[in-house]
Structure 1
């Protein structure tokens, strides 16, 4: 059986990619700490709809609010997103698919009665937590 061959452009790139976290990123943790300190309780890395293969970063199940804190690179932030130098064609297609999946997720969750809140990783955690709290608290 042949050994697995990585599609990464270099061993260094592969290590960087492996170190990227899917959950519990620094921006998520900062927002979650502030929400918890405000007395809000939520689910972490949870599927709002079990039938939908999409996981939100923070979910308020009773209020039906799904929160996503998107990374600037991975979700093509118009302000901070960058283009890859190696494998540029692959990465531009990958990021375009991510953006399309984000829009699809928003639409599908909205159709199912969920409110979707999206924030960028570069946004101030206090402002993000306040926005979420303002939206979720009246529904409590």
Structure 2
């Protein structure tokens, strides 16, 4: 297995390493909003698929709904992703790999019958929670 390249030494690299991967502020805000709407979910739940194992940020197991809260930098938000100046090209390659991985994860989950929501960190937690609630809430009369 080929290891990814090492990032070039820079203040950006040091800053990037200190970013949290779980329990981020946008994720906690969305979880709070979902909980206030009476929705109960799993955090850190591992979904084993034939091709890979996936660990979404929020999972509704009964409805087979997976929610990812994507950071604008790490996942290449078209509105907010600003690449650090890097002559080696490391960060461009890293973000491209993340985007490809996200697409592969989406495809694998959909093939297994899951519904996927990807929420950008800059999106309103309230609005996102309402959209997710509509998809997760039981159908009336069911």
Bin the TM-score by the shorter chain.
0.7 to 0.9
Counterpart mapping for 1:92-131 below 5 A: 92-131=92-131
Q: Does 1:136 align with 2:113?
A: no
Q: Is the 8 A contact 1:47 1:56 kept in 2?
A: yes
1:21 aligned residue: 20
| TM-score, length basis structure 2 | 0.85
Structure number with higher helix proportion: 1
Scaled by the length of structure 1, the TM-score of the pair is 0.86
User: Is 118-127 or 38-47 further displaced after alignment?
Assistant: 38-47
Which stretch of structure 1 is more off in the superposition, 88-97 or 43-52? 43-52
- The Cα shift of 1:37 comes to 1.3
Indicate if the aligned counterparts of 2:72 and 2:122 stay in contact, CA closer than 8 A.
Answer: yes
Asked if the contact 2:71–2:120 (Cα under 8 Å) also holds between the matched residues in 1, the reply is yes
Find the aligned partners of 2:134 and 2:40 in 1 and give their Cα distance.
14
1:1-36 CA deviation, whole Å, 9 max, x = no partner? Answer: xxxxx74513x4444223211110000000001111
C-alpha separation in 1, matches of 2:87 and 2:34 = 39
Structure 2 unaligned residues grouped into runs of 5+: 1-5
How far does the alpha carbon of each residue in 1:18-61 deviate from its partner, in whole angstroms, 9 at most, with x for none? 32111100000000011111111111122223663221000001
**CA RMSD between the two structures:** 1.9
Structure 1, unmatched stretches of 5+, are: 1-5
Secondary structure of 1:66 counterpart: strand
